[in-house]
Amino acid sequence: MLEIRKLTTPLIGPIDLMLEPGTCSAISGASGAGKSLFLRAIADLDDNSGQISLGGTVRSEMPAPDWRRKVAYIPAESGWWAERVADHFDQTTGLGTLLDAVGLADALSWEVSRLSTGERQRLALVRALQTDPKVLLLDEPTSALDPPSVERVEALLKERLASGSALLLVTHDPGQPKRFAARRYHMASGKLSPLDQPEKAS
């Protein structure tokens, strides 16, 4: 589905990686190893070279905004540009369901400055899911969440997996790759290497 060949930036790579529909891949590694830079490069947010294609369509043949709607990168720290939460969302029909799924059904009327880190993290995920992306690049998606919220977010992500999306997960939570039956990779000084065979879902 997502094919990455020789992805290189001045700081990382070259990296090859293949993501299949309905599967999850998880990347671990020390801070500063280049995990976030790798995700940024896939989303074409930093200057990079190499070839990436989604379902046969080469990235360079697609306008960058279209690419980012299909291959969504959700950074560890979310960005907000307006005062009210509602101004960061398109008023689509599925929005209520998504907000409900992460336990933030009333959040639209809130102000961004009063959100907790965990609330921001969940809202940023909802915001990205609104474009119905085929691939999700998740940078520590549950790092600021309490256990019940982690469960909700993981359930939502498993739903996306079941509907055929591919996930690429950067996580420090040792149990998370297992819960997604993820293929595991390790990143060190900008190079990616496979860790072992996919594990069975628990």
Q: Where do contacts with another protein occur on this chain (CB under 8 A)? A: 43-47, 63-66, 68-69, 72-75, 77-82, 124, 127-128, 130-131
Q: How far is the CB of 159 from another protein (least distance, A)?
A: 20
Cβ-Cβ contacts under 8 Å for 125 (sequence gap 6 or more): 74, 102, 138, 141, 153, 156
Q: How far is the CB of 197 from another protein (least distance, A)?
A: 32
Name which of 38 and 183 has its Cβ closer to another protein. 38
Contact 46, 40 (CB under 8 A): yes
Name which of 56 and 79 has its Cβ closer to another protein. 79
Name which of 66 and 100 has its Cβ closer to another protein. 66
Cβ-Cβ contacts under 8 Å for 85 (sequence gap 6 or more): 107, 108, 109, 110, 111, 112, 115, 123
Name which of 124 and 167 has its Cβ closer to another protein. 124
Q: How far is the CB of 125 from another protein (least distance, A)?
A: 12
Name which of 96, 118, 97, 121 is nearest 109 in CA terms: 96
Terminal CA-CA length for the chain = 25
Q: How far is the CB of 2 from another protein (least distance, A)?
A: 16
